Every structure is written in structure tokens, then in C-alpha cells.
């Protein structure tokens, strides 16, 4: 499964071409990579409930890693997965350095910090009452579900393969977990 | 709401209320400037912090050892905390003199590795760094970025 990537102003984005051009110093190609995947990388960092500053540090660290590996990304079609994996590791490193716990949420089989470090949205930016209700329902889900949904519904939506890389879970478990988390969300919303 | 509609609503919510900060996009664009032009990348092959090992003998607190390798060359960095700042002791293997530069997104510090391949930089800010080494025969390498 591949990620359908659509970015305003960037047509026919091809990861292999963009990586090769960026490795040669093509700023436009690099900017296209950053624009295409920023939403994904940000969502991975924020799925760990990192503050804006910490999530920014993770995103910046992820770009620096990609810059140093521009020449040796083995499978450009899996660039999204590579970035998701890198962002997850950068997030876990940051959490570990800060001395915070990274316990595993056994209910979901998804790892995630239990202690909430930061709000996962800026509530002032919620558009209307239905979004506020949705956000309140999301915040009552397990941490594992919150992580899965945050990454899964990043913009643009990543492939299952990329979600698997972001959360370090088998691809086969994503569909059932997604269905269960959405069912839980729906029952909170209607309950 | 079916799953697809609920998914769309979630995606809109996060786009609205948790967007990627504009400044972060800008910083992302600018990170291409850190492209490694001339040097070969020395990869992190060992990190005592990742395995929970600590070097308790170092004055001023436990130190962390990072080992980077490229071909037959190793760069070993001993990092310790000194009065809130970062102290970096470097050892090149093979032990030869060279120019070493500690780079971070906010600045760089150049030092000379002595005849035994040792160099030291004190008073570094905590954060993200890498070390680039230029040997006297012109060969260059640069370590992966590390956080300390």
C-alpha cells in the first residue's frame, strides 16, 4: 500500500526523484519533501503528547537525520515509513532524556506515555461545538487509541504501513484496532 | 457517523486545532543547509546511554560514551556535565592529529586533536551536536547527529 500524497502546488511528487534532487542540493525538491511529510512527522511526535517545543525538536531532529541520509535511503517508496520510524525514535529518546516514563499501554498493545505531558490540541483553535465534543470524546479514549487515531488521521492520511512504522505495531493489527478505537469513540459521543 | 465520516471529522479537528507550526516548516526547509557535502558519515555504533551503562568514575557525574565508526576509523566521544554545560572529550582511532569541529544548529567550535588523537571542548550547550573531523591528508568524516 502506498501513501497518496497530495500537496497544494506540488504536483507529481515522487519520493525517489525528490530525494535524489535534494541530495544534490535542490532546495525546491527538499521543500516539497518537508511539506509533504511535515503533517505525518508532527503527528507522530504529538501522538506522544509532546509539548509544542518538544514536538518541534523531534520534527527538526527527524529532518536533520533525513538530510544526513539523503544518499542512502534504500527504498524511497518507503520514505514515509522511514520518517515515521525516525520520528518515533526521536520522540522516545527525548522522553527518555527528560527522565519521563514510557510505560506500555497493555490494553491496546500500543506503547505510550501514561503521564500526559501536554495537551494534544490547542482547544482555542477548535472550530465549533461539534469539534469540542469530538475532542472531549477523544481525550477519554485510552492512550493507545489516541496515539493510533492521531497518526492515522494526520493530513495527508498515511498508509497502514506507515502507521505501523509510527506506532511500531504489526500492519495486520491496525485495521481491527482502528475499528475498535472508532467504535469506542462513537459510543462515548452517543453515550 | 460511519467510520469514514468519523475519520474525516478527526482529520479536520487535528488540522484545525493541532497544525504544524509555520516556523517549524521554515526550520525544516532550512535544514537542507546541514547537508554533508564532503565528509563521509560515521555512524553511531555504541551509546552507553542507550544500554543503561554509565561511567561512574568521571568527576562531576556519570559520563556517556558514544562511538562512531566509518571504515577503519573510529571517533569516541566522552560526554559529561560540567557546571550545567557539556564537556566533550574526543578520541580518534587510529590516534592521529586532525582538525575537529563540534557543530550544532546554533554554532560551531573548532579544536585541534593532538598527536594522540585527543581533543576537548568545554562549555557546550546541551542539545543536538555532531563532530566533523578533517585529517591532515585531507580526508574528512562527520558523525551522525547526537543529542546530549
CA-to-CA separations, B31 to A10, A22, B45, B73, B145, in angstroms, rounded = 20, 11, 24, 27, 13
Chain A CB within 8 Å of residue B145 CB: yes
Predicted local confidence at residue A55, as pLDDT: 95
- The secondary element (H helix, E strand) that includes residue A136 is helix A129-138
Which of A37-41, A110-114, B93-97, B130-134 has the weakest average pLDDT? A110-114
**Higher pLDDT residue, A4 or B65?**
B65
Query: Does the residue B8 lie in any domain?
Result: no
Q: CB-hemisphere CA count at 13 Å for B26?
A: 3
Return the bridge partners of B134, or none.
B99, B140
Cβ distance of A23 and B35 shorter than 8 Å: yes
Closest CA to A151 of A41, A15, A35: A41
Question: Which has the closest alpha carbon to A79: A154, A12, A161?
Answer: A161
- Closest CB to B14: pick one of A93, A130, A153: A153
For residue B71, the distance in angstroms to the closest alpha carbon of chain A comes to 16
- Rg (alpha carbons) of chain A, rounded to whole number: 17
Q: What is the mean pLDDT of chain B?
A: 90
- In a mutational test of the B interface, the residue from A42, A45, A145 whose CB has the highest number of chain B CBs within 10 Å is A42
- The closest of A71, A43, A79, A18 to B10, measured between CA atoms, is A43
- The pLDDT confidence band at residue A103, using thresholds 50, 70 and 90, is very low
| Average pLDDT of the residues in B129-135 | 95
- Chain A interface test: which of B1, B2, B9, B10 (most A C-beta within 10 Å): B10
Q: What cell numbers appear for A145 in the block? A: 487509541
- Over 80: is that where the pLDDT of B56 sits? no
First to last CA, chain B: 47
- Looking at the predicted complex, does its ipTM rise above 0.90? no
**Residues of chain A contacting residue B47, judged by C-beta atoms under 8 Å apart:** none
Beta carbons within 10 angstroms of residue B50's beta carbon? 12
Residue B52 — very low, low, confident or very high, per pLDDT cuts 50/70/90?
Answer: low
Residue window 43-102, chain B: list those with CB within 8 Å of chain A. Answer: none
Residue A107 has pLDDT above 80, yes or no: no
Give the pLDDT score at B106: 82
d(CA B47, CA A151): 29
| 8 Å CB contact between A35 and A8 | no
Residue B30 belongs to a domain: no
Other beta carbons within 10 angstroms of residue A52's beta carbon come to 16
pLDDT at A9 over 70: no
| B74: in domain | yes
Average pLDDT over residues A14-28: 95
Report the pLDDT averaged over residues B78-90.
Answer: 91
% of chain B surpassing 90 pLDDT: 74
pLDDT band at B90 (very low <50, low <70, confident <90, very high): very high
- What proportion of chain B, given as a percentage, has pLDDT over 70? 92
Cβ B120 vs Cβ B92: under 8 Å: no
Within A23-119, strands assigned E span 104-105, 110-111
Q: Is residue B107 part of a domain?
A: yes
Range of the domain at B49: 38-147
Closest listed residue to residue B79, CA positions, set B148, B20, B2, B131: B148
Stated as kind and residue range, the H or E segment containing B41 is strand B40-47
B10 in a structural domain: no
Identify the band that residue A3 occupies on the pLDDT scale cut at 50, 70 and 90. Answer: very low
Q: How confident is the model at residue A1 (pLDDT cuts 50, 70, 90)?
A: very low
Q: Can you give the pLDDT at residue A109?
A: 45
Q: How far is CA A39 from the centre of its chain?
A: 7
The per-residue pLDDT for A86 is: 97
Which of B5, B8, B22, B28 is the best substitution to test chain A (most A C-beta atoms within 10 A)?
A: B28
> Domain holding B73: CATH number?
2.60.40.10
pLDDT at A113: 47
**B148, pLDDT greater than 70:** yes
- Say how many domains are in chain B: 1
Dihedral, CA of residue B135, residue B136, residue B137 and residue B142, to nearest 10:
20
SS3 category, A156: coil
Q: Do B31 and A178 touch (CB under 8 A)?
A: no
pLDDT band for B49, please (50, 70, 90 cuts).
confident
Chain B nearest C-alpha distance from A155 (Å): 7
Residue B15 has pLDDT above 70, yes or no: yes
Task: For chain A, say whether B18 makes contact (Cβ under 8 Å).
Answer: yes
Residue predicted with more confidence, A77 or B58:
A77
Rounded CA gap, B80 and A12, in Å?
48
CA distance A63 to chain B (A): 6
**Residue B122 is assigned to a structural domain of this protein:** yes
Distance CA A70, CA A44 (A): 21
| pLDDT at A106 (0 to 100) | 35
Span A149-174, pLDDT tens digits? 999 999 999 999 999 999 999 999 99
Average pLDDT over residues B41-63: 73
Helix pair angle (A160-167, A79-97), 10° resolution: 20
**Residue B109 to residues B88, B100, B102, B129, Cα–Cα distance (Å):** 11, 8, 5, 11
Mean pLDDT lowest among A97-101, B24-28, B76-80, B135-139: A97-101
**For residue B128, is it within any domain?**
yes
pTM of this prediction? 0.83
pLDDT, one tens digit per residue, over A60-72 is 999 999 999 998 8
Question: Which residue among B12, B19, B128 sits closest to A61, beta carbon to beta carbon?
Answer: B128
Q: Which of A106-120, B106-120, B130-144 has the lowest mean pLDDT?
A: A106-120
Amino acid at each position: 500500500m502506498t501513501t497518496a500524497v497530495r500537496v497544494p502546488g506540488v504536483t507529481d511528487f515522487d519520493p525517489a526523484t525528490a530525494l535524489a534532487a535534494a541530495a544534490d542540493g535542490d532546495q525546491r525538491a527538499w521543500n516539497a519533501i518537508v511539506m509533504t511529510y511535515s503533517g505525518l512527522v508532527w503527528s507522530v511526535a504529538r501522538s506522544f503528547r509532546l509539548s509544542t517545543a518538544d514536538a518541534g525538536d523531534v520534527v527538526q531532529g527527524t529532518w536533520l537525520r533525513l538530510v544526513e541520509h539523503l544518499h542512502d535511503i534504500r527504498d524511497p517508496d518507503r520514505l514515509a515509513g522511514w520518517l515515521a520510524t525516525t520520528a518515533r525514535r526521536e520522540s522516545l529518546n527525548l522522553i527518555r532524556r527528560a527522565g519521563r516514563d514510557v510505560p506500555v499501554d497493555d490494553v491496546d498493545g500500543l506503547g505510550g506515555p501514561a503521564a500526559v505531558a501536554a495537551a494534544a490540541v490547542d482547544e482555542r483553535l477548535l472550530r465549533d461545538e461539534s469539534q469540542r465534543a469530538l475532542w472531549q470524546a477523544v481525550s477519554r479514549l485510552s492512550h493507545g487509541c489516541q496515539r493510533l487515531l492521531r497518526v492515522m488521521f494526520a493530513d495527508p492520511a498515511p498508509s497502514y504501513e506507515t502507521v505501523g512504522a509510527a506506532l511500531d505495531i504489526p500492519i495486520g493489527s491496525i485495521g481491527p484496532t482502528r475499528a475498535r478505537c472508532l467504535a469506542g469513540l462513537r459510543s462515548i459521543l452517543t453515550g | 457517523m460511519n467510520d469514514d465520516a468519523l475519520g474525516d471529522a478527526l482529520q479536520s479537528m487535528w488540522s484545525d486545532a493541532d497544525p504544524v507550526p509555520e516556523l517549524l516548516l521554515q526550520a525544516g526547509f532550512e535544514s537542507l543547509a546541514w547537508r554533508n557535502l564532503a565528509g563521509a558519515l560515521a555512524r553511531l555504533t555504541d551509546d552507553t546511554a542507550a544500554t543503561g551503562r554509565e561511567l561512574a568514575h568521571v568527576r562531576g557525574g556519570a559520563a556517556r560514551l558514544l562511538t562512531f565508526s566509518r571504515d577503519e576509523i573510529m571517533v569516541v566521544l566522552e560526554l559529561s556535565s560540567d557546571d550545567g554545560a557539556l564537556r566533550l572529550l574526543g578520541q580518534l582511532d587510529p590516534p592521529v592529529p586532525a582538525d575537529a569541529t563540534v557543530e550544532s544548529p546554533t554554532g560551531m567550535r573548532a579544536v585541534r586533536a593532538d598527536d594522540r588523537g585527543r581533543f576537548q571542548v568545554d562549555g557546550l550547550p546541551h542539545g543536538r551536536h555532531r563532530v566533523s573531523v578533517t585529517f591532515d591528508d585531507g580526508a574528512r568524516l562527520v558523525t551522525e547527529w547526537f543529542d546530549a
